[in-house]
Structure 1
Amino acid sequence: MPSVDELCVPGHPHETRKRSIFPRDPRRKGPRVDPQAYIDRPNQRLPMTEPLLDLLVVGAGPAGISVAVEARAAGIAASKILLFEKGEAHSWSIRKFYPEKKLVTANFKGLAAQCRGVLCIPDLSKGETLSYLDRAIRDHELAVRYREAVTAIAKQADGTFLVRTEKGTHRTRVCVIAIGILGKPNRPDYKIPPKVRARTHFDVTSERLEGERVLVVGGGDSASEYVQYLVQCGNEVTLSYRRSEFRRMTSLNRESLFALEERGQARILRASDIEGIELDEGRPHVRFTGASPPSETFDHIVFALGGATPAAFLQSVGIDFEGGDPRVTDGYETSIPGLYLIGDLAPETGSIILAFNSSRDAMVDICASHLECELPDRAE
């Protein structure tokens, strides 16, 4: 973990007579679009532009990249693998939500995570991790389509999947969903007045804050790291957490946060909850319960409340849930044969090594159940 002093571095809807194979998005108006119809009319929008793939990956973060690397190690040709990423570059959540020089930790909450797959790293900085993943994409000749979101996935009678994106429709034997939860950060239950929304944030990279009074809301590792970063950038920082103890943080982040408090560089409002936010001359005025003073005005608020599983998308695909979580096997296969969930959406994730390992386990299952491939033993 770097010291605090190192942290601050500067479609046309087309009516069709066929019944749609894709669930209708309730947010969209107009007639259904049947991508199968465009296979018969290749001059229309959403053409079937690719031959049958062996593996299509939704999301090009650490888990998505690593499952494609595992597929290459298992002997699957690069031309049979395709990744889609809605962001401008791979690992978009790391780029957007991690402060510069933040460590991307190999372990999980202080517990060692043993590498089982092709990809393996020690604790690295944000930049070092992105460079490592750059090399993985290049060295394994992976094809990644950036700025292209997947909008629907449908299982076909022949066992393949049709996957629709904003630009086309593709057919694949196996589909792996490896989208992160941070791309959809949790939002507070209380209303944020429209006139102060420009002063509320869900990351510390989109807008650089310096010399401001900033309230950070949350109690996990991101909250601590945001506080450390904002302090180093010359801000007056207050952290509000609804619990009295910070059990969700690693010991390192907890100790770093408490050190800032002891030195008077950050203020912590323990067991404080936010009742609401009001407008105070263009700035957010926050009403607390369990805090003194009971209300206070800040220049900016940064929320570090974690991410939400994109349940609506997964349910639209037809994946079964148990409670609030998608149901997967030990090999990360969902209730739909041939469709896998890895990374943030899989159980017990939290570190990049566990993301890599979930990719390895999924690929072992894929080779055993769906594709003619075999993974070699990992070279130590």
Structure 2
Amino acid sequence: MSLPLKRVVVTGLGALTPLGNDIPSYWDGLVNGVSGAGFIKQFDVTKFKTKFACELKDFNPENYFERKEARKLDRFSQIALVAADEAVRHARLTEPGIDHDRVGVIWGSGIGGMITFIEEMKNFANGDGTPRFNPFFIPKLILDIASGHISMKYGFRGPNFATVSACASSTNALIDALNYLRLGKADAIVCGGSEAVVTEAGIGGFNAMKALSERNDEPHTASRPFDLNRDGFVLGEGAGAIVLEEYEHAKRRGATIIAELAGGGLSADAYHLTAPHPEGLGAYNVMKNALADADMKPEDIDYINVHGTSTPLGDISEIAAIQRVFGEHAYNINISSTKSMTGHLLGAAGAIEAIASILSTVHDIIPPTINHFTDDPAFDPRLNFTFNKAQKRVVNVALSNTFGFGGHNASVIFKKFSE
């Protein structure tokens, strides 16, 4: 006879995003409809088709790390540690009495240490062919190293690994953490994701795929989910961290409970390397699976933080799936794409968008989809896309979608916490 699954709650949040370097500034940017886009400062963009991105603002690693320590960390690990520290402190996860053998770390990234790889290969290519590589080359670039660094910083010895499923990576981390906690395999898990690929290879590679917006004349309005004239996504960087905790454990230690993670769903498009299923089949399945896992009906959902990347095909297929899943109730739901403000953080997108969903249930505010100028006749005008301005409404339950290249789909459902 199987035991009932344990409840899982949110007790800590941390964020480092193009809108701000902590949770309060991130949320303030979201509800005020701030664009994080601007011309790229990290490298010379003169010859690139896309010259802008959503970069972090005023992020100096030496404000957080000793110079020697910072040099041992790729940027994606640096920002992972900063976001995780905010979440761990928020959750008071290092206070006496917590069994560190039962605290884990599950961290997602779509690409990992791209900056380190580029730098080392440039150095090798500019040399005489002698392989003089930094001894930290491999430990800096491997994708699982961020979760390792977080665990080593705090001595968390529970489950520890990385998830990689392109843009769904950090949502997969949340779902894995949810299931470990439900089954009693840990008491708390620091989970989320980070990405730092605003680089020559990142911009150039996505340009070659024709995935990025090339609206260089007005970068701050380039991310236009659901707008008729959307022309691709805007690349972003950053990290989001969430402390998930088994409810009884959180209650015993007097933790502040922010929200409850009610369930998660997974699916595959099984269709194409990069394009979504044209009928939104994978998106339909993942939302249905999430609802079933949370033991909820479509009518329970108040807000959907959509994947909504501002690509011509992706936006259409996701909305088709939403209308199929929710039927008439789709017209009662607020829909918004916070990527219109943050850009697309790839493997970190799921974590920062989950945080936006969580905070919507806390504050009863829907962040907007900014940069809407022209209606697209492909979308039903009765749907509420929360265009251009945040809206106040009671948000008891929020669903967050993330879909990745390769057809990887993941959705999570958060609800207001109640005893």
Question: Normalization by structure 2: what TM-score?
Answer: 0.24
Higher RCO, 1 vs 2 (CA within 8 Å, ≥6 residues apart): 2
Q: Structure 1 length normalisation: TM-score?
A: 0.26
